[in-house]
Amino acid sequence: MSGRLRLAGQVAAVAVVAALLGLLAWKLTQDESRVTSELQRGGTPTAPPFALERLDGKGKLELESLRGKAVVLNFWASWCGPCKDETPLLQEGWKRWQGKDVAFVGVDVKDFRGDAREFLERYGVTYTNVYDGKGSTVGRYGVTGFPETYFVDAAGNVRYRIAGPVEDAAELDAGIERALAPA
């Protein structure tokens, strides 16, 4: 009886250790700041895919549907002060780059949908914006604050990142040119 009890205890201990190792492996593969850390090491990580609800009510947008274009991916929220300063610059940039194989996508994060729509209307934003109230993209991209902008190339790889607001048109254009440059 005691031998059987001991065996059961050993099996349970091994199972617990295996479960913890599995959890560790899962956590490592889900590394939250992979994109940012790879960029900092000079790499061009694959932009984590997403399918998010469009704020204009036209269904969902899948990032992968924009393959073949450079994508300016801007993470923002209506309650974020610097986002208000940056948005007119992005809207002007969108007008400048429209029709040149460049897409602008705003990702509204941890926000009220209504506030986000009001914000877009107030600032006259016409580029595509999607809603990520739960912030599911934040960890996968390694977003450290708002706003933050990622420049994705036509193959779906992140080439450049601006943490904080885009300061001027030259900085925005430089990011886009990096995303358009051949690999």
Residues of this chain that bind another protein (CB under 8 A): 2, 5, 9, 77, 79-81, 110-113, 115, 133-136
**Helix residue ranges, H only, 30-97:** 34-40, 81-97
For another protein, give the closer residue by CB, 44 or 87: 87
We find the least distance from the C-beta atom of residue 162 to another protein, in angstroms, to be 20
Interatomic CA distance for residues 45 and 35, integer angstroms: 6
Q: Can you read off the two tokens belonging to residue 64?
A: 């992968």
We find the least distance from the C-beta atom of residue 95 to another protein, in angstroms, to be 29
Interatomic CA distance for residues 83 and 74, integer angstroms: 10
For another protein, give the closer residue by CB, 70 or 80: 80
Whether omega before 147 lies within 30 degrees of 0, making that bond cis, reads yes
We find the least distance from the C-beta atom of residue 134 to another protein, in angstroms, to be 3
For another protein, give the closer residue by CB, 48 or 133: 133
We find the least distance from the C-beta atom of residue 103 to another protein, in angstroms, to be 26
**Do strands 70-76 and 102-109 pair parallel, antiparallel, or not at all (unpaired)?**
parallel
Are the CB atoms for 79 and 161 separated by under 8 Å? no
For another protein, give the closer residue by CB, 64 or 115: 115
State the angle between helix axes of 169-180 and 81-97 in degrees (0 to 180), rounded to the nearest 10. Answer: 60
We find the least distance from the C-beta atom of residue 70 to another protein, in angstroms, to be 29
Residue appearing with tokens 């254009």: 173
For another protein, give the closer residue by CB, 69 or 110: 110
